[in-house]
Structure 1
Amino acid sequence: METGSLRRNCVVLCATGALVVAAGLIACAPQVQETGSMGDGGAVVAETPKPMPAADEYGVVKADSWKSIYPNEYRTYRENDANSLESGKHDYLELYLALNSMYEGYAFALGYNEAAGHTHTLEDVKETPRTTEKAQLANCISCKTPQFTAMVNTMGEDIYKQPFWDVVEQFDEPISCYNCHENDPQSLTVTNKFFARALGSADSPQVSKEAQSCGQCHNEYYFDPETKATTNPYTGLENMTPDAILAYYDERGYKDWEHPETGAAMLKVQHPEFETLYGGAQTFMVKQGMTCADCHMGKKVAEDGITYVSHTWRSPLEDEELMEANCNTSGCHASDEGGIAGKVAAIQAEEEARVTAISEKIEQMIARVAEQRESGALSGDALAEVQRLHRVSQFYWDFVMVENSEGAHNPELTFETLDKAEAAVDQALSMLA
């Protein structure tokens, strides 16, 4: 199986320590641009604020409507367009052949490509074989467009039960300003109410709005079997660990699908970036007050001298200015050999090698279970235990595989979780020898 750093395009840095940003934490919200003329005494007299742009039928002010009011933020937002479906996305089912066996019987076995950028979310969800070749519900539109988010908040959760194609075609706005700011660019909010409920009123004040606005989509979720609503498998930060999430699913007897070869009740994890950073003990970086925006956005200075926050979402590795100013020279990583990029590369190489090796073990386990089930050599309690180990090993493995930093967000948790995945699959293989 091919290995390397090709798995995900959203490589995340600043993971093994905090950046010391002299100017303070970088806010995600667009900065007010000073306009006006000089009045008596040299004071700046502000011009009359521009009116709020008109909202669409869903109550969403689209990104294009803010173009003239926040030109720098809008321009950098549009730079995300380059991260398109046609920009050379990897097919994970070809890159990691074991996935074809591991995800067999689930929609991800039909198609699993590297995701395009935030401005292509609607295209992405409408073109994946997971929706074109298999009937889905409207809950699959969660975090793909603010228009669906606004619809859920207005009409209620019954909309989740509607057929995917009956709902999705009416939308035309990908992830944009409304998702994080609603219609107030000077504030941050969590528009996905399911995540606000899961975080809880007690823990919400402990997490910055910058992190919450990103975390509301970058989290692990499932669809409630009865309501079909997008739901997080926890309440509060303490319960956002892999162990607690698995226990949550086990207590409810929940499964995403039954694996056709092993008969195991399987779980499919979704991009748990927020849980990896904030769940349980939390990372050193989080404890120092760093947020997603500090590493993935960053402050910039326009040609006219105005300071603004970039809305091009990318890896810090792709932002040399941010890296040099905040990481390699003045931050916690100034003494790291090769800078933070070198340190992260080492973490990701180790994670990639272990993810690949464990996936091959799980693939081998699946093949052995299928063979022994068919021959009758495996049944009863022994089969039930192997099925449990399949569920456990693949859950822990998937938690790391689909987290977008390849270990950089939280190396300690990453390798502890892979240890648990490997221990479970090794136990199963020993039973199948």
Structure 2
Amino acid sequence: MDKKVGLIGAVAATVALTAALAACAPQANNPVTDEAAMNAVPAQDQFGVVVAEQWQGLYPNQYRTWLDNEANSPESGKDNYLETYPQLATMYKGYGFAKGYDEAASHSYTLRSIAETPRVNEKTLANCITCKTPQYTAMVQAEGDSAYAKPFGEVLALMTEPVSCYNCHGNDPTQLEVTNGFYLNSLGNSVATTPVESQVCGQCHNEYYFNPQTKATTNPYVGTEAMTAEAILAYYDGIGFMDWEHPDTGAPLLKAQHPEFETIYGGAGSRMAAAGFSCADCHMATETDEAGTKYASHYLVSPLESEAQQEKCAMCHDDIAAEVRQWQEGVTRREHEIAAQIELYIQQLAAAKDSLDAATLEQAQQIHRHAQFYWDYVMVENSEGAHNPEACHQNLDKAEELLAEGFALLA
């Protein structure tokens, strides 16, 4: 299995029967019920955030399992995607991701990872810290869009807490809260139709861009119907947005981020979404402590790395590991095949562009832009197709069809 799966992992597939769905449904996380304990809210830091360590007395099981995420460290054997997909040096040429693109570590290392990436420089703005720490989330809540345009280094130096309790709960662990206002606005009416357990994950695991005028972190859609690669591409085309111009082809390119939420819930949605499952159902196992208290583990792993989660899957699947492996192998194989085609197309377009008339060149560059985006949208999604294999193959189909059109145009 690709090592990328260790970060986000694969979800279980469709649950066909209502009875099975009920049996697989998550156990509610036991909240603190003692009134005195509930009123004993720990002190907030300078940003108004109660950091995770402050909650360990009231929520020892959740805090202990949250600390377990430290095992998924940058030193734990991460892929260098520039080596795994050697074509990326050509595809991302002229953009920061060509300088460094490693498999992500867990939430415990979000601040360290953003501080150490070679993609930042003296021109980088604080908007790159979005979703790296709850303290920046609180800063944006307090200061509004102006916080996005601050200098990256200046703001990062103030941050001390990686992704933790506040990101998903605010300062009330008995509740779930989408603390990123930009994402809550982008959900639109879908707030009422998607599980809040998935919304709090989706507020960071999504496709976004930085508004060219305000520098604000922004989603290219409103509502789940518009959360498809095709609709997002149309949105970017409509506003003339690009992340960078490819130095060889001149194409105005886009860099997809990590559209986990869109892949699961966008458009027609995945089979898991249709069956009523949330991200937490698959990635946060229900466990029981020595006193017999059930709680939601905050150790975020692939369900294939959790015996408890696999027991849920086994109620509907004879061999969920084999199913997931088949999905991932199929998607990954096509990712490599199409990456080679994109690199070849870039080379041919670069060689031919000076001899093409303006209209043909524009069409060829548009094909480069679109085909690479459809491919990138699948490759960066972090489940290797397991979250929604049908949608992933459809996007790869579109990339292949565009490339075929482009090669014919250049012939």
Q: How does 1:48-67 map to 2 (within 5 A)?
A: 49=38, 51-67=40-56
Is 1:256 equivalent to 2:243 in the alignment? yes
Instruction: Give the partner amino acid of 1:167.
Output: V
User: Which residue in 2 is equivalent to 1:178?
Assistant: 166
User: Which residue in 2 is equivalent to 1:42?
Assistant: none
Counterpart of 1:160 (choices 148, 167, 173) is: 148
Report how far residue 67 of structure 1 moved. Answer: 0.7
Task: Give the SS at the match of 1:52.
Answer: coil
Report how far residue 134 of structure 1 moved. Answer: 6.0
Going from structure 1 to structure 2, the CA distance change for 1:243 and 1:49 (only over 3 Å counts) comes to: closer
Task: Give the SS at the match of 1:88.
Answer: coil
Q: Is the contact made by 1:16 and 1:411 (CA closer than 8 Å) also made in structure 2?
A: no
Q: What is the distance in 2 between the residues matched to 1:139 and 1:415?
A: 32
Counterpart of 1:310 (choices 297, 317, 342) is: 297
User: Which residue in 1 is equivalent to 2:399?
Assistant: 421
Q: How does 1:57-206 map to 2 (within 5 A)?
A: 57-131=46-120, 133=121, 135-200=123-188, 202-206=189-193
What per-residue deviation string (whole Å, max 9, x for no partner) do you get for residues 307-358 of structure 1? 100000110010012202x111x2x224xxxx11101100100100000000
Q: What is the distance in 1 between the residues matched to 2:14 and 2:383?
A: 12
Of Structure 1 and Structure 2, the greater helix share is in 2
Q: What is the distance in 2 between the residues matched to 1:362 and 1:126?
A: 31
Task: Give the SS at the match of 1:295.
Answer: helix
Report how far residue 17 of structure 1 moved. Answer: 4.0
Q: How does 1:171-250 map to 2 (within 5 A)?
A: 171-200=159-188, 202-250=189-237
Q: What is the distance in 1 between the residues matched to 2:262 and 2:16?
A: 18
User: Please, what TM-score do these two structures have when normalized by structure 2?
Assistant: 0.96
- Deviating above 6 A after TM superposition, structure 1's stretches of 4 or more consecutive aligned residues are none
What per-residue deviation string (whole Å, max 9, x for no partner) do you get for residues 230-278 of structure 1? 0000011111111111110011011011110100010111110111111
Is 1:385 equivalent to 2:383 in the alignment? no
Instruction: Give the partner amino acid of 2:108.
Output: T
User: Which residue in 1 is equivalent to 2:313?
Assistant: 327
| Alpha-carbon RMSD | 1.7
In structure 1, the gaps of 5 or more residues are 36-45
What per-residue deviation string (whole Å, max 9, x for no partner) do you get for residues 167-191 of structure 1? 1110000000000000000000100
Instruction: Give the partner amino acid of 2:124.
Output: Q
Going from structure 1 to structure 2, the CA distance change for 1:94 and 1:384 (only over 3 Å counts) comes to: same
What per-residue deviation string (whole Å, max 9, x for no partner) do you get for residues 69-113 of structure 1? 100000000000111111121111111100010011111111100
Task: Give the SS at the match of 1:300.
Answer: strand
Q: What is the distance in 1 between the residues matched to 2:331 and 2:15?
A: 18
What per-residue deviation string (whole Å, max 9, x for no partner) do you get for residues 14-36 of structure 1? 13446935456326x7422567x
Q: What is the distance in 2 between the residues matched to 1:76 and 1:414?
A: 32
Q: Is the contact made by 1:143 and 1:217 (CA closer than 8 Å) also made in structure 2?
A: yes
User: Which residue in 2 is equivalent to 1:6?
Assistant: 3
Instruction: Give the partner amino acid of 2:358.
Output: G
Greater mean deviation of Cα atoms: 15-24 or 237-246: 15-24
Report how far residue 47 of structure 1 moved. Answer: 6.3
Going from structure 1 to structure 2, the CA distance change for 1:322 and 1:222 (only over 3 Å counts) comes to: same
Q: What is the distance in 1 between the residues matched to 2:33 and 2:178?
A: 27
Structure label with greater radius of gyration: 1
Counterpart of 2:269 (choices 247, 267, 282) is: 282
Q: Is the contact made by 1:58 and 1:150 (CA closer than 8 Å) also made in structure 2?
A: yes
Q: What is the distance in 2 between the residues matched to 1:144 and 1:77?
A: 16
User: Which residue in 2 is equivalent to 1:15?
Assistant: 13
Report how far residue 194 of structure 1 moved. Answer: 0.4
In structure 2, the gaps of 5 or more residues are none
Q: What is the distance in 2 between the residues matched to 1:231 and 1:239?
A: 14
What per-residue deviation string (whole Å, max 9, x for no partner) do you get for residues 13-68 of structure 1? 213446935456326x7422567xxxxxxxxxx76546100000000000000011
User: Please, what TM-score do these two structures have when normalized by structure 1?
Assistant: 0.91
Q: Is the contact made by 2:29 and 2:294 (CA closer than 8 Å) also made in structure 1?
A: no
Instruction: Give the partner amino acid of 2:86.
Output: L
User: Which residue in 1 is equivalent to 2:325?
Assistant: 345
Instruction: Give the partner amino acid of 2:66.
Output: Y
